[in-house]
Amino acid sequence: MGLLDIFKKKKPNLREDIVKAYEWISTALKSSGYNADFSLESLREIDRFFDEHSENGEAKVGGLLSESKGARLFALGSYVGEVIRRQYGGEWETNDNDPKGEINIAIKLSNGSIVWPVQKVMKRLKNGIEDGIYVYGISCK
């Protein structure tokens, strides 16, 4: 099953898509040499992934973000969010009726804070390490 097959269905269900996406990207990252074990430390690997596959706010030609960029950013955001959720506790918040639902998925953390992991990975791509994922993850305490 390919990445795009994960998201082909008649009725959107973002909660299901999130789980499928973070499971898929974890496996894909591991097969490419990244430690994607859902630990807080694995967020350093997400930063390394962006360092290796993007430059000046764009996906590198031939890199792992050069194809299916939107779906891969959603999957990376789902992974980042799930790491944070597991670390600090909380619940995914989704809206299947939102036309930008994939971008607006959020986690309401047990401390009441809300994080938007897909938006964060999009900023990481655009702005580089100044929007680092590891720092984002540890700042959610």
List the domain boundaries for the chain: 13-138
- Judged against a pLDDT cut of 80, whether residue 8 lies above it is answered with no
Question: How many CB atoms are closer than 10 A to CB 56?
Answer: 7
Question: What is the rounded average pLDDT of the residues 82-101?
Answer: 96
C-alpha to C-alpha distances, 126 to 57, 103, 138, nearest whole angstrom: 4, 15, 21
Greatest CA separation for the chain:
41
Q: Please answer whether residues 73 and 121 qualify as being in contact, where contact means their C-beta atoms are separated by less than 8 angstroms.
A: yes
* Banded pLDDT at 5 (limits 50, 70, 90): low
pLDDT of amino acid 128 = 95
- Judged against a pLDDT cut of 70, whether residue 6 lies above it is answered with no
CA 54 – CA 88 distance, rounded (Å): 29
Question: What is the rounded average pLDDT of the residues 124-141?
Answer: 95
C-alpha to C-alpha distances, 79 to 4, 11, 72, 75, nearest whole angstrom: 17, 22, 10, 6
Mean pLDDT of the chain: 92
- Give bridge partners of residue 114 from the DSSP assignment: 108
Asked whether the whole model's pTM tops 0.95, one would answer no
Residue with tokens 């031939």: 62
pLDDT of amino acid 141 = 81
Fold of 13-138: Four Helix Bundle (Hemerythrin (Met), subunit A) (1.20.120)
